[in-house]
Structure 1
Amino acid sequence: MDATTPAQGRKAGAKEWLGLTVLALPTLVMSVDVTVLYLALPHLGADLQPSANQTLWIIDIFGFLLAGFLITMGTLGDRIGRRRLLMIGGAGFAVASLVAAYANSAEMLIAARALLGFFGATLMPSTLSLISNMFADSKQRAQAVAIWAACVSSGIAIGPPVGGLLLESFWWGSVFLLAVPVMVLLLVAAPFLLPEYKSPSAHKLDLVSVGLSLGSVIPVIWSVKELAEDGLHALPLAVLVAGLLLGVLFVRRQKRLTEPLLDVGLFRNSEFSATLLMLLVGVGVVGGVYLFISQYLQLIKDQGPMEAGLWMLPSAFVMMVTAAASPALVRWVRPGFLVGGGLAISATGYFMLLGVGADDGLSALVIAMIVLFSGLGPVFALGTDLVLGTAPPERSGSAAAMSETAMEFGISLGIALLGSIGAAVYRNNMEDAVPDGLPPEAAEAAVETLPGAMAVAADAPPEVGAPLAERAFAFFMDGFHASAVVCGITVGLFALVSFVLLRNARTKAQIDAEAPKADDESRDEPAPAAAR
């Protein structure tokens, strides 16, 4: 361990809090990138003219590589130094952002997005694990993690207005350039504000484990997306089985290694496993329903990207407040109850989305989103802190990687599964509702997606286009509401699970606060007779 790592229990000062700002900014930028790209797709589509399959790869390759390398990079940071890995990742992310911004073909953009996912995997676990080194005092660390979690979650919400502002003034590549000055600031400030940390027992990285990790994570995510979008088919089923088998081999190998890539022993702690599950579910379902909300605002309410994003800001602000307040609330409420209560509040918000209609105002949507996101604050803040708190300091890199992997898996699965539910409801209803007289190609486009139906309605005569658009809006809302019900039921059930499995969970701050009392009691006890 480097000498700059604070001693256990020492209060962090101005340097550490400034360092937290350096760590939070790239985290925020990466979260913003998630929603910015969706807004930029129409613009880059007109310029690069990617095929439908290439468009999907432009969206998905980032998440595939990010999830696939998170575990590897979290462990690599423990070995070569977390600050060093963070700076390597920051430099690589900046270069990849420049390549993406000035890509002149779909293939070039896909390759740049892949690089962004690879280098992004070095950033996320490094930022989180460095927090545990910089903030040795458990109360301060909990607050720092809450700020970090707020940046992760709020970045998704503030992406639309930021992206809308850029897209209204510049070309589509500007959304990627947003990361460049942030990464330059990281490279300049990191040597002065961030400590270095290496695991005292660092060993050579096991490349076989790396291969097995990638061979399990990436195929599973890809196959789940394919199965959700296209139904049961032989190829994705075979890929899913192959990925799961490689995952079994990966776990068995980790158990045999003295220095594993992933410390599977951490999962013996039921609180650790349950917290990862809460993060996966809580983040996953909100990632899926977010797609419906953004489409509702832009397609049905006909708002521009920036205007749509502004309607999402109140919920982002509320979530930041509840995330920041959660560490203090554990003085009076058990962490497991706060997490479970947060999930219960979010479940209520999902059910409130049933009151949002195609012809209604936006107040019902905004109120539902505020309730939904306010419940997510404790989940993000305390969930991540509980994950780090249950892991030994020398394995916090691996724990941080598992936390991030759970959230990335949640987002991928949530978008795929919830998106397929909404799409299935829409398609099943639209198949029998397309007006007569449309060409087969136009009818197929209208049945497939809401944007396709709107494009067909715009080109059709008014007596055909108007009823087509009205039916498409109604059926989209049916799919939206079906997904909201699934989210509400799922999150509600996991709220009950959290109350049970995390009822005795304690944060690191609570454990450290009780330690001196235990020591004092042991000193007050009379010495054993043999000692007298």
Structure 2
Amino acid sequence: MSLNKNISLNKQAGLRSWFGLLVLMLPVLLVTVDNTILGFALPKIARALEPSANQQLWIIDAYSLVLAGLLVSMGSIGDRVGHRMLLLLGSLGFTIISVLTALSTSPEQLIVGRAALGFFGAMLMPSTLALISCLFVDREQRRVAVAIWATTLTVGSALGPIIGGVLLQYFNWNSIFLLAVPVLIPLLIFGPILLPASDKQTGFIDGYSVLLSIIAMIGIVYAIKHIASNGVGIEAIAASAIGLMSGRSFIRRQHKLPVPLMDISLFHNGVFAGSVMVNLLSLGLLVGFVFFATQFLQIVLSIEPLLASFALVPGQIMAVVVGMAIVSVAKRVPAYWLLPLLLALAGLAFLLIAWVGSSLTSIIITFVLLCSGIGAIASVSNELILSAVPSSKTGSASAISETAYEVGVVFGTTIIGGLLTAFYRLNLKLPDAISQDQTKLALETLAGAYTVADSLADTARQRLVNSAEFSFTHAIHMTSWSTAILTGIVVLITWYLLRKPEKISHV
């Protein structure tokens, strides 16, 4: 390494860089709040727009699905047009589409709006992590900056229900989409002043790779959704086959391209691969928990949105405290012990729900455990990801890391949400004197069962409400057992991967 490079690596960032980091936290906060705030608003949306169970999942997943499919592509585009430019364009588009989405009058319009938000959201997240590498060349400063970024990510996900609770207490569900305006306007004003213009790479964007990645994601997720709602069938098998074949073709194509859309060689590094996998699962656990906890608090326990959101405050506080405190611990404890232990802590949260059952007390304690593990994971794993790859590949690494987070959101709502729906339908007992349409509505969602119950006589109404509450509570119990077991398996895989020696060259 040359003397000039040594000087560059030891260069300390000044106050301007820290203000730039503060500006970068605005889109991080918005995008992560947006991931979980909708889950808290889902009961009101279900009553206002009457979406089916499948539409409810698509309302949440349309955003994450499009975003996950495009993150790697947008990361590569940012490498070519500049990450600052891409961040500003994404912020402008996200603000405009958010206002339009707030005007939705049907589930279909809301799904389209969420998908459009995913398109512009894909421009935001890879740019933030890539620009942190430009702002902070010194590793110790970058470690702190990444910890702040990661803590904001976790806190944003946890703050979604609180912000949603406040808005839903005083306004309609449409208000949650207007958050982008006050959050992103400061970025559009101060971003050009405080954020650096990153180096631009030459090369082309392979459109076929973009198409393959989107088809792969949509095919696999659609198959999971269909199986959860309707069981295994020809449609689900066909969708999964198309998704898997497209994914295989995508991976093979990346190996052949001189400038790949996703640098698959990064996964030869055990530290990188293990950290990415933990990122994916950790956010999936958080979003999946919020998906059923918010419905349990609001519908089963009949708690107002604002008061229900306070049940999650202790967990959010712990996410901040542990997310920052873990930085000093990470310097002393080997990653192959620390990261699996933190993931096991998050898994323990679901084990607690599975063991003692769902109640207000268990929801609060569980969320504290979950946020403690996930807040620390985000700080540790993202610094490992940036440190595990050569500096010339930090843009690609950032995009893959962000893709893992968004796939995690899809995992949380699709797999955990799908399991919840399947277990709920399996145990729900319906009155005989209801129509076929009412039966379908009650089987689709807990909110749907309550809607049907409101149209019945007192005795039949109470029987349906009791059955729906029992079925939903039992579904939480069974889903939590399944999630805890899956997390335990991933803990072992993570430990193995993080112990593997590096196989890529840092040149």
TM-score between both structures, scaled by the size of structure 2: 0.91
Q: Distance in 2 between matches of 1:261 and 1:86?
A: 19
Counterparts in 2 of 1:113 and 1:471: CA distance versus 1, 3 Å: closer
| 1:119 shift after superposition | 0.6
Choose which of 452, 476, 488 in structure 1 pairs with 2:448. Answer: 452
Counterparts in 2 of 1:171 and 1:436: CA distance versus 1, 3 Å: closer
| 2:212/2:249 contact within 8 Å kept | yes
Q: What's 1:89 paired with?
A: 90
1:470 aligns with 2:466: yes
SS in 2 for 1:459: coil
- 1:190-228 CA deviation, whole Å, 9 max, x = no partner? 1221111124x4212222322222232332223332233
Q: What's 2:3 paired with?
A: none
Q: Distance in 2 between matches of 1:105 and 1:363?
A: 36
Q: Distance in 1 between matches of 2:424 and 2:214?
A: 35
1:209 aligns with 2:205: no
Choose which of 488, 496, 512 in structure 1 pairs with 2:492. Answer: 496
| 1:31 shift after superposition | 1.4
| 1:223/1:239 contact within 8 Å kept | yes
My pick for the range that moved more, 276-285 or 39-48, is 39-48
| 2:166/2:306 contact within 8 Å kept | yes
Q: What's 1:522 paired with?
A: none
Q: What's 1:267 paired with?
A: 267
* 1:375-394 correspondence runs (5 A): 375-394=373-392
| 2:40/2:291 contact within 8 Å kept | no
Q: Distance in 2 between matches of 1:66 and 1:96?
A: 14
My pick for the range that moved more, 184-193 or 251-260, is 251-260
| 1:324 shift after superposition | 1.2
| 1:335/1:505 contact within 8 Å kept | no
Counterparts in 2 of 1:298 and 1:48: CA distance versus 1, 3 Å: closer
| 1:209/1:261 contact within 8 Å kept | yes
* 1:339-488 correspondence runs (5 A): 339-354=339-354, 357=357, 360=359, 362-430=360-428, 433-488=429-484
1:23 aligns with 2:24: yes
State the AA in 2 paired with 1:213. Answer: S
- 1:442-467 CA deviation, whole Å, 9 max, x = no partner? 44544443223323333333333323
| 1:85/1:122 contact within 8 Å kept | yes
State the AA in 2 paired with 1:406. Answer: A
Q: Distance in 2 between matches of 1:372 and 1:54?
A: 28
Q: What's 2:153 paired with?
A: 152
| 1:288/1:415 contact within 8 Å kept | yes
Counterparts in 2 of 1:51 and 1:446: CA distance versus 1, 3 Å: closer
My pick for the range that moved more, 183-192 or 495-504, is 495-504
| 1:90 shift after superposition | 0.8
Q: Distance in 1 between matches of 2:235 and 2:316?
A: 40
| 1:60 shift after superposition | 2.7
SS in 2 for 1:7: helix
Q: Distance in 1 between matches of 2:110 and 2:364?
A: 35
SS in 2 for 1:136: coil
Q: Structure 2, unaligned stretches of length 5 or more? A: 1-6
1:169 aligns with 2:165: no
Q: Distance in 1 between matches of 2:364 and 2:51?
A: 35
| 2:130/2:398 contact within 8 Å kept | yes
Q: What's 1:178 paired with?
A: 179
Q: Distance in 2 between matches of 1:18 and 1:174?
A: 29
State the AA in 2 paired with 1:378. Answer: A
Q: What's 1:68 paired with?
A: 69
| 2:40/2:290 contact within 8 Å kept | no
My pick for the range that moved more, 226-235 or 272-281, is 226-235
* 1:186-205 correspondence runs (5 A): 186-199=187-200, 201-205=201-205
| 2:316/2:371 contact within 8 Å kept | yes
SS in 1 for 2:13: coil
| 1:337/1:503 contact within 8 Å kept | no
Q: What's 1:135 paired with?
A: 136
Q: Distance in 1 between matches of 2:105 and 2:433?
A: 40
My pick for the range that moved more, 265-274 or 453-462, is 453-462
Q: Distance in 1 between matches of 2:134 and 2:298?
A: 43
Q: Distance in 2 between matches of 1:338 and 1:473?
A: 39
| 1:155 shift after superposition | 1.6
- 1:305-341 CA deviation, whole Å, 9 max, x = no partner? 2211111111011012111122211222112221111
Q: Distance in 1 between matches of 2:353 and 2:414?
A: 20
| 1:61/1:117 contact within 8 Å kept | yes
- 1:35-60 CA deviation, whole Å, 9 max, x = no partner? 33234455556666667766554333
Q: Distance in 2 between matches of 1:481 and 1:107?
A: 32
Q: What's 2:115 paired with?
A: 114
| 1:22 shift after superposition | 0.8
* 1:255-334 correspondence runs (5 A): 255-334=255-334
* 1:514-529 correspondence runs (5 A): none
Q: Distance in 2 between matches of 1:263 and 1:48?
A: 42
My pick for the range that moved more, 56-65 or 410-419, is 56-65
Counterparts in 2 of 1:447 and 1:384: CA distance versus 1, 3 Å: same
My pick for the range that moved more, 254-263 or 62-71, is 254-263
State the AA in 2 paired with 1:475. Answer: S
Q: Structure 1, unaligned stretches of length 5 or more? A: 1-5, 507-511, 513-532
Q: Distance in 2 between matches of 1:29 and 1:499?
A: 32
Counterparts in 2 of 1:257 and 1:54: CA distance versus 1, 3 Å: same
My pick for the range that moved more, 348-357 or 239-248, is 348-357
| 2:60/2:413 contact within 8 Å kept | no
SS in 2 for 1:173: helix
Counterparts in 2 of 1:19 and 1:445: CA distance versus 1, 3 Å: same
Q: Distance in 1 between matches of 2:449 and 2:101?
A: 31
SS in 2 for 1:112: helix
Counterparts in 2 of 1:485 and 1:103: CA distance versus 1, 3 Å: closer
| 2:82/2:197 contact within 8 Å kept | yes
Number of residue pairs matched by the alignment: 497
State the AA in 2 paired with 1:206. Answer: D
Counterparts in 2 of 1:456 and 1:98: CA distance versus 1, 3 Å: closer
